[in-house]
Amino acid sequence: MPRASALLAWLTRRVADAMRPNPSVVPAGTPLLAAVGVLRQSDAPGCLITDAQGRAIGLLDADGLLRDALFQADPATPVEQLMEGPAALIGGADPLHEAAGRMVRERRRVLGVIGRDCRPLGLLTTEAMFAPLLDPLAAYLGQGPLPGWAERAALWSSLLHDGQDAVAVQAAMGSLNDGLVARLTEACVRAMAGAGWGPPPVRFTVLMMGSAGRHESFLRPDQDNGFILDDYPDARHEAVDRWFIELAGRFTRALDEAGFPLCRGHVMATNPVWRKSIGQWRAQIAGWAHRRSLQSVMLADIFLDFRAVGGAVDLGDTLRAAVLRVCAEQPLYLKQLSWEHVRQDVPLGLFGQLQGEPGAGHHHEIDLKLRANLPLVGLIRMLALRAGIAATGTRDRLTALIAAGRVSDGFGAMLAEDFAILTGLRVRQQLADVDAGQPVGNLLGLGGLSERDRKRLVRLFRSIDTLRRVAAQEFGGRLG
C-alpha cells in the first residue's frame, strides 16, 4: 500500500496533471509507413490522429499496431483505418482515477488526452507513478470483485494512518463509492438487456441522498438512493414503471451485496416515493413545502442533500434548481426544517462539562451522530438553502456562506475546523470498533478521551450552540 498522502493526492488529480504533454500528432490520410516513422522518432507509446480542423479523432497505439496490424496492413493504408477511435481518448479535465479505472478495465497502456475543444493535449500512460497506486484501488476501478465494507474500512485506515485530513479522505472515499454506484448501475442495465428487458425506456440518473449525497458517509452507511426519470407520456407509465421497478430491485440488491445494507426506512429506488419522473419530483417537493407535516420534514432532511450519479445527471441539476426555487418561495418551510435542529440542546453541563447520553446504559458516552453531526450539518444546510446555495457538501456550503457574507470569516473557519475534528473523531471511533470486532456505531466513550480531545469536543458543542442561535435569528424562531 502506498503512503496515504500520495494516494489521497492522486485521487484528487486530473488527467492533465499526469499526462505526457506535446504528443506526436499525425493528420488523417497519412500513410501507415509515415506514421510508424513518427512513432519511432518520438519513442512514444502512441500518436494522436487529427482531422482537417486539427481535432483529435483517435489514437494509433504503438503496441496494438505492432501486435495486430504492422505486418499485415499495406504500408500505404491511411492511418485512420487502423487507429482506435474516440473510445481511446479522454478529457484532460477528467478525474485521474476514472482514467485509471478505464485502463484497468479495458487493459490499456495508453490513452490520448484532449481538451474541451477536442485538440490534442498529450498521452496518459499507466507507467511510473500509476503502478504503485492501482493495487489498493483495483476493486474500485473495475478489476476483480466489488470491495466489501471490510475492504473499504482497510482503505480508510490506510488513508488516515499518516495524519491526513479526515474530511478530505471522506470526500475521496465518497468519490470512489460514486464510481461503484455507476459501475453497478451499468452492470444492472446490461444484465436486464441480456435478460430480454431491453434498454432503458427513458433517460435516468441515480440519486444519492443523505450523507452519500454530501460525500460525508462513514464506514458502513446504509442505502439512501432513488431515481430521477426523464418525463414521459402518461400512456407509457405502466411499461416504464415496470422496467424501473426491475432495475431498482437489481440495483439495491447489488449494493447490499457490495456492503451497503438495505435502508430499514426504505429510502431506496424500490420505493416509489424515491423513484419518479422529473415532473413528479417537482410536484412532490412543492407538496412537501406546502403541507409542512412532520413526515415531510423528515423526508426532506434525507432528500435535500441529494446528488445525481451517472447517466442523465442534468436531471439532477434541474431538480436542484426546483428545490432552491421552492425554498426561496416558501420561507416558512425552511423555518420548520431548521426548528428540529435549533431546539436541540447541546450535551454540556452548567459549568461547560461534557454530559453523556441520558439513562444508565450510555451515561459515559456521547452519540456523535445525534448530538453533533445532525445539528451541525443540518443547520449549515438550512442557512445554505436560505442563501440559494446549490452545493451539498458541508465544507462547500460553509465556503459559499462565507463568500456570500452570510457567515463571518472567523466563525465560518471555526465551524470548518470543528467539522473536521468531528469527522476525525467519528471515523477513528468506527475504525476502533472494527479492530475490536464490534459493530460500527456512533457512540464515543468519554472515559478514554484525551484532555485535548475533550477540549475540542467542548469547543465543538459551543460552536453548535452559537450556530443554533444564528439560525434562530435567521429564521425568526426562538430558543427554549
- The CATH number assigned to the domain with range 147-328 reads 3.30.460.10
Task: Decide which of 456 and 149 is more confident.
Answer: 456
Q: How far is CA 120 from the centre of its chain?
A: 29
pLDDT tens-digit series, residues 196-211: 999 999 999 999 999 9
* Whether residue 474 has pLDDT greater than 60: yes
Structural domain 4-135, CATH architecture: Roll (3.10)
Q: Measured between alpha carbons, how far is 65 from 48 in angstroms, rounded to an integer?
A: 13
Q: What percentage of the chain has pLDDT greater than the value 90?
A: 51
Under 8 Å between Cβ of 329 and 323 = no
Q: What is the model's pLDDT at position 208? A: 96
Mean pLDDT, residues 2-18: 71
Residues 6+ away with beta carbon under 8 Å from 294: none
Mean pLDDT, residues 170-184: 89
Under 8 Å between Cβ of 68 and 50 = no
Q: Measured between alpha carbons, how far is 63 from 20 in angstroms, rounded to an integer?
A: 17
* Whether residue 40 has pLDDT greater than 50: yes
DSSP 39-81: HHHHT-SEEEEE-TTS-EEEEEEHHHIIIIITTTS-TTSBGGG
Q: What is the model's pLDDT at position 3? A: 47
Q: Measured between alpha carbons, how far is 100 from 140 in angstroms, rounded to an integer?
A: 10
Query: Cβ–Cβ contacts within 10 Å for residue 84, how many?
Result: 19
Q: What is the model's pLDDT at position 433? A: 87
* Whether residue 151 has pLDDT greater than 80: no
* Whether residue 128 has pLDDT greater than 90: no
Under 8 Å between Cβ of 257 and 251 = no
Mean pLDDT, residues 250-256: 95
Q: What is the model's pLDDT at position 135? A: 58
Q: Measured between alpha carbons, how far is 62 from 45 in angstroms, rounded to an integer?
A: 5
Q: Measured between alpha carbons, how far is 266 from 99 in angstroms, rounded to an integer?
A: 34
Q: How confident is the model at residue 240 (pLDDT cuts 50, 70, 90)?
A: very high
Q: What is the model's pLDDT at position 393? A: 94
212: nearest Cα among 181, 244, 249, 245? 181
pLDDT tens-digit series, residues 77-104: 898 988 999 999 999 999 888 888 888 8
Q: Measured between alpha carbons, how far is 61 from 66 in angstroms, rounded to an integer?
A: 9
Half-sphere exposure at residue 246, Cβ-oriented, CA atoms within 13 angstroms: 18
Residue-range domain boundaries for the chain: 4-135, 147-328, 341-474
Mean pLDDT, residues 123-141: 65
Q: Measured between alpha carbons, how far is 138 from 175 in angstroms, rounded to an integer?
A: 15
Q: What is the model's pLDDT at position 238? A: 96
* Whether residue 53 has pLDDT greater than 90: yes
Q: Measured between alpha carbons, how far is 223 from 177 in angstroms, rounded to an integer?
A: 12
Cell of 172: 475521496
DSSP 165-185: -HHHHHHHHHHHHHHHHHHHH
Half-sphere exposure at residue 165, Cβ-oriented, CA atoms within 13 angstroms: 13
* Whether residue 479 has pLDDT greater than 90: no
Q: What is the model's pLDDT at position 65? A: 73
- Strands of the sheet containing 110-114, edge to edge, are 20-21, 120-125, 110-114, 89-91
| pTM for the structure as a whole | 0.72
Q: Is 29 strand, coil or helix?
A: coil
Q: How far is CA 400 from the centre of its chain?
A: 19
Cell of 81: 483505418
Q: What is the model's pLDDT at position 109? A: 85
Q: What percentage of the chain has pLDDT greater than the value 70?
A: 91
Q: What is the model's pLDDT at position 2? A: 45
pLDDT tens-digit series, residues 296-336: 778 888 899 999 998 999 999 999 999 999 999 988 888 88
Can you list the positions of beta strands (E) in 258-395?
275-277, 307-311, 365-367
Under 8 Å between Cβ of 214 and 392 = yes
Q: What angle do CA 138, 141, 142 make, to 5 degrees?
A: 90
Q: What is the model's pLDDT at position 143? A: 57
